[in-house]
Every structure is written in C-alpha cells, then in structure tokens.
Amino acid sequence: MNTTLVFGGSGQLGQCLLTVAARTGFEGIVFPPEGEANILNTEALEILFEKHRPAYSINCAAYTAVDKAEDELELARKVNRDGAENLAKLCAKYNCTLIHISTDFVFEGNLPKLLTEEDATAPISVYGLTKLEGEEAVAANAPKYYTLRTSWLYSEYANNFVKTMLKLAVDRSELNIIADQVGTPTYAIDLAGAILHIISNDKQQYGVYHYSNEGVTSWFDFAVNIFDIAGVKIKVNPITTAQYPTKATRPKFSAMDKSKIKLTFNLPIPYWRDSLIACIKALK
C-alpha cells in the first residue's frame, strides 16, 4: 500500500484531508505530529521520509496571514518558498510525488477573463510573491509534482471568511463588504476530495493545475449568500476596495479556469453555492 505524508496537517486544509480520508476510507495517509514535520527542519524531514518512504507528500503547510505578511517578508518566504523547496528536494531524492498547494494571489488580477495555468503571474502582495516563489522551487526541484492553485478557501475548520462573517454577525447589525474583488470560493472539503482523487487516479501528467469551486462571485455577494443560507438577518452594504484599506493589495479578478484539472482527472467540481450550503450545514 502507498503511503501519503501530509505536512501542515493542523491547518484548515490539513483537517479537511483528515476528515475526507476518514469518510472515504482512504488508506495509508499519515499526519505526522507537528514537532516531527516542520518543513523548515530538513533533518527532521529526512527522518520522516526515511521512515515512511512515501509515494505521495501533500504540502498544506504555509504562511497564510495575507496582511501580516507585508511586514514579515522573510518569515513568509521561509515557509512558503524555502519550506516548499525542502519538500521538493526530498521528494526528488525519495521518488515521491509532491502535491503542493498554491493560490490565486499569484495573479495580478487585472484580466477580465477566467485565468488559465498558462496566464502570466504577477503577484501584488508579499504573500502572493512568496507563494509564487514556492511554486517555482517545486517545479525546479521535484520531478514529480502537482501544484494546485486554489482560491478563497473556507470550511468548518480553522479561520476563514465564512466563520468570520458568522462571528461578526453575532454583535453587529450591519457589515460593509468589498464588492469589487471578484473570484471563486472553494470549500476546503471539496479540495481535499480532489487531492485524494488525484492520488487515486494519478495520470502522471505533472505540472500546475487550477482548482476552485465552480462559478464566480464577489466577497460582498459571498457574504450575502452566507447569511441567507445560515438564516441570519443582517444588513450587508457593498463597498469598494478603496473604502476598506488593508496592508496587502488583493487581486480585483482572480477567478480561475478549471478545464485542465477536470479533463485530466475526470473530476467533477461542485458549484460554489451548493458547497457553501454543505459547509453551513456542517457548521450547524
């Protein structure tokens, strides 16, 4: 039986992988204790690879604090670039396939079309830049890799936009939400399912793939739908990016084309609102 090693297992996507693997009876998946799986500790990583000899490694570990990263370039770069490079080199050495997770924030977000894997990257934030550097390190060092770019992840686990909205609504009667940033939310449970699907149906067609839920929306429309589905009565005001200043600049339009992953792996992808309904049901 093949072994799959998960890094960053305590984060949002890591917890979703644990949930989906248990639900589907996916065998051979190992979530090493955090102390043994620091992606910056090459000695500890070598011990793990030597012990498990994994056929697959999934890198869910990342520095994901988008605004904070603007003041912590070195730390973000260490985790998002150097950590990815460490895993890629070990995967090369141990003949392991690396599944690495990246982001829509590698794009500038000024093209009025669904972004394909061939479109030019041009990050406009430190987080996006360091994630792009991680992608490049993976491509340069791991002969067998799938880099999955995803966007706007949410789930019942860890911190995310859906949980923030529901929390804010407890003691606020109205919220101002940006309506001129457009993209696609992704239920991390769906992404976890897609990752396990790729491993079970490996086509060895390595490279970069886009994965999000289907459809396109704005943060404002996403928030309106969260409250609608959750049955929460609150006034939601659409605002512009300029009316909500943040340290990091975010792409204006970062919805991605998923044709490549759907065709290569024969993978059905749920529409974002259907998955949001599933998440809110799970939260309740």
Ligand X SMILES: NC(=O)C1=CN([C@@H]2O[C@H](COP(=O)(O)OP(=O)(O)OC[C@H]3O[C@@H](n4cnc5c(N)ncnc54)[C@H](OP(=O)(O)O)[C@@H]3O)[C@@H](O)[C@H]2O)C=CC1
Q: Does 177 bind ligand X (CB under 6 A)?
A: no
Q: 101 is in the binding site of which of ligand X, ligand TDO, none (Cβ under 5 to 8 A by kind)?
A: ligand X
Residues 84-143 within binding reach of ligand X (CB under 6 A): 101, 103, 131
When the beta carbons of 26 and 105 are compared against ligand TDO, the nearer one is 105
Q: Does 177 bind ligand TDO (CB under 6 A)?
A: yes
Residue 257 buriedness (CB in 10 A; 0-12 / 13-18 / 19+): middle
- Spot the catalytic one: 56, 127, 187, 209: 127
Task: Answer for the pair 211, 258: CB distance below 8 angstroms, yes or no.
Answer: yes
What is the residue type of 170?
Answer: V
Locate 187 and state its tokens: 């239920």
| Closest residue by Cα to residue 15 from 157, 152, 148 | 157
For the window 178-217, what string marks contact with ligand TDO as x by the rule CB under 6 A? x--x------------------------------------
Q: 219 is in the binding site of which of ligand TDO, ligand X, none (Cβ under 5 to 8 A by kind)?
A: ligand TDO
DSSP state of 207: E
Query: Looking at 164, 205, 259, 266, which residue binds ligand TDO (CB under 6 A)?
Result: 164
| 3-state SS assignment for residue 37 | coil
Cβ within 8 Å of residue 43, ≥6 positions away: none
DSSP state of 106: G
Q: 162 is in the binding site of which of ligand X, ligand TDO, none (Cβ under 5 to 8 A by kind)?
A: none
When the beta carbons of 65 and 175 are compared against ligand X, the nearer one is 65
| Closest residue by Cα to residue 58 from 150, 130, 124 | 150
Cβ within 8 Å of residue 229, ≥6 positions away: 273, 276, 277, 280
- From the CB of 255, what's the least distance to ligand TDO, in Å? 11
Tell me, yes or no, if 127 is annotated catalytic. Answer: yes
For the window 1-40, what string marks contact with ligand TDO as x by the rule CB under 6 A? ----------------------------------------
Residues 31-90 within binding reach of ligand X (CB under 6 A): 37-40, 60-62, 64, 79, 83
| Side-chain half-sphere exposure of 42, counting CA atoms within 13 A | 10
For the window 73-112, what string marks contact with ligand TDO as x by the rule CB under 6 A? ------------------------------xxx-------
Question: What's the angle, vertex CA 119, arms to CA 12 and CA 206, rounded to 5?
Answer: 60
Looking up tokens 């090369």 gives 92
Q: What does DSSP say about strands 186-187 and 97-103: parallel, antiparallel, or unpaired?
A: unpaired
When the beta carbons of 165 and 196 are compared against ligand TDO, the nearer one is 165
Looking up tokens 């392991």 gives 96
Residues that bind ligand X (CB under 6 A): 7-8, 10-14, 37-40, 60-62, 64, 79, 83, 101, 103, 131, 150-153, 158
Q: Catalytic residue positions?
A: 127
Residues that bind ligand TDO (CB under 6 A): 64, 66, 103-105, 151-153, 161, 164, 175-178, 181, 219, 244, 250
